[in-house]
Amino acid sequence: MEKDSQRQIYWEKNIVPFSGFYHAGSEEAIDGPAWFRWLYSRLIFPIEKRYMRERHDMVKEYLSCHCREQVRLADIGFGSGIFTRVAIEAGARVWAVDFSKSAVEAASAAIPEQFRAQVEFVHGDIRQHPIPFSDVAIAIGLLTYIDDADTFFDHVLPHTKRILFNFINRDNLLNRLRRLIPMLDVRSLAYHKLDEIEGMLHERGFIIEYVKPLATGFMVSGMKTV
């Protein structure tokens, strides 16, 4: 629970600055000594920003294929709301949930008036409640902060036909270093193994459409088989 509290405090403080990764940059207030914060912002943030652009393009392409009028999308851990906006502009109806109150407030305020009837923002924890039935679910940057992947999938997969999500690879060399040196893990990440994630999807009646490398993890697209 201590890690969960750290994650929530971090994102309440940083969700709006983190949105800058998709545009001008990041102003996240990471913890650590002044020299470490300076070094991280100069060396690591530019690399992360490049991967955020790559992630953005992956998700936007997926949404362009699967979002249209009358499609119901669940945006789980919507963060800045950038993908909610893409989906509603394509005509989809979106149920969007995030555990950060700051995310709900910021994303709600950013939705233009003409699209507000298409989206419902919810302040909640996906580990506590299942999503409503959806044609498509996305969880971008969410399993990177949830250790209990089984509960996450139990609350999502029975209620959707398709899912797109990413996670951090436990076996990646850099992630092994992060676990050994906690200072490097500035966002208190969660780590998962690819074969275990694939097994969880298969057990719940999903086939994997593709697995694509992304930064120190993977982007996964799955589809219900029956």
> Does the domain spanning 2-224 belong to CATH 3.30.390.30?
no
Q: Are 38 and 220 in contact (CB under 8 A)?
A: no
Q: Are 59 and 53 in contact (CB under 8 A)?
A: no
The sign one gets for the Cα dihedral 216, 161, 19, 68 is positive
3-state secondary structure (DSSP) of residue 208? strand
Specify the DSSP class assigned to residue 186.
T
- DSSP conformation letters of 58-96: HHHHHHHHH--TT-EEEEET-TT-HHHHHHHHTT-EEEE
> Which tokens go with 4?
């969960």
Over the stretch 125-138, which tens digit does the pLDDT of each residue have?
999 999 999 999 99
Q: Are 214 and 166 in contact (CB under 8 A)?
A: yes
Residue-range domain boundaries for the chain: 2-224
Specify the DSSP class assigned to residue 191.
-
Over the stretch 26-55, which tens digit does the pLDDT of each residue have?
567 777 888 888 888 788 877 877 888 899
Over the stretch 83-126, which tens digit does the pLDDT of each residue have?
999 999 999 999 999 988 888 988 898 899 999 999 999 999 99
3-state secondary structure (DSSP) of residue 127? coil
The sign one gets for the Cα dihedral 54, 218, 16, 69 is positive
